[in-house]
Amino acid sequence: MFDQFLRKAEELLAKGESFAVALVVRYQAPISGKPGDKAIIRSDGRLWGWIGGGCSRPVVIREALQALADGQPRLVRISPSSSPEEGIVDYTMTCHSGGTLDIYIEPVLPKPQVLILGCSTIAQTLCRLAKTIGYAAWVAAPGVDSETFPGADLLQKNLDLAGLKITPQTFIVVSTQGESDEEALEAALQSEASYIAFVASKTKASKTLEYLKERGLGSESLARVRAPAGLDILASTPEEIAVSILAEIIQTRKSAALKSMPASPLPALAKSARDPICGMSVDVAAARYKSDFDDTVYYFCCAGCKQTFDRQPQKYVIARAP
């Protein structure tokens, strides 16, 4: 199982996909999850692995998605009675099985890459600063070398981007400054990068984009180019311009992450119902346990909750009434 877990994580990392890892670190019997049980939760709410039964899964998915949204790990406790403790996200679960689970959840976010096209002074500074904030720095340009870009993670001596793995976490900055401007921008626009910036004045950028339009590039494609590159912080030196570009990349990346998160914290449980016994959210479409009472369908996270409800349904309907 551990080998399969590592292979699954490696597969998602290779795809550049964000996911969260959930690991059971403590338990009190009786409960199905045990220390060492682990699962991977993808950004769409799908869970792969095992961290306990029906009541645990919705909580783990909920918190994993929140971890992906804010980038912060958390320790979650699921127990029959509330026991607030600093540093622990506490959930009360009164399921039939009982017991307590402590689950550590950590987001795994692919390292973003800044793909720099060009060898200019700004390009060199951008490469250095990108590494400082934990980004991977790729450089592609004719004549590029490791002496000019000593910290680069990848060096390519041409502007052909077809062989590079460009993901939503790849941010392209064209900083050719007169050396193959049009070729570099055209190569960038042929990629699926969500961010393409051109280090140039408004006049220079306008002329370059007009040239590309005459070459047949559509207006929609050209509109992807951000020029001048970076946030307007009145930057003038190469260092300040590089900072403004990285600030814009960070802003773009964070905004995209928030927009990509579904409106509901539980996309896999978008249509959900409340278990009248334990209070947990239950995915209506996938629910295995349900009961009809007084012209209403009630859904349950497990067989134990259903059995408890079926013995005295009136009791629990009244107890859960608003």
- Mean pLDDT (the chain) is 88
Residues 6+ apart with CB under 8 A from 64: 20, 22, 41, 105, 107
User: Domain extents for the chain?
Assistant: 2-109, 113-260, 272-320
Backbone angles phi, psi at 226, to 5 degrees: -95, 115
Tokens of 201: 């004045």
Instruction: Give the number of other CB atoms < 10 A from CB of residue 256.
Output: 13
The reported pLDDT for the residue numbered 115 is: 98
CATH, range 113-260 = 3.40.50.720
pLDDT tens string 67-78: 988 889 999 998
Using CA atoms, how far residue 297 sits from 62, 110, 269, 300, in Å, is: 24, 42, 17, 10
pLDDT tens string 183-229: 999 999 999 898 999 999 999 999 999 999 999 999 999 999 999 99
Residue 99 has pLDDT above 80, yes or no: no
Tokens of 168: 């939503």
Tokens of 31: 């409960």
pLDDT tens string 228-269: 999 999 999 999 999 999 999 999 988 876 665 555 444 443
Residues 135 and 138: their CA atoms lie apart, in Å, by 10
| pTM for this model (two decimals) | 0.64
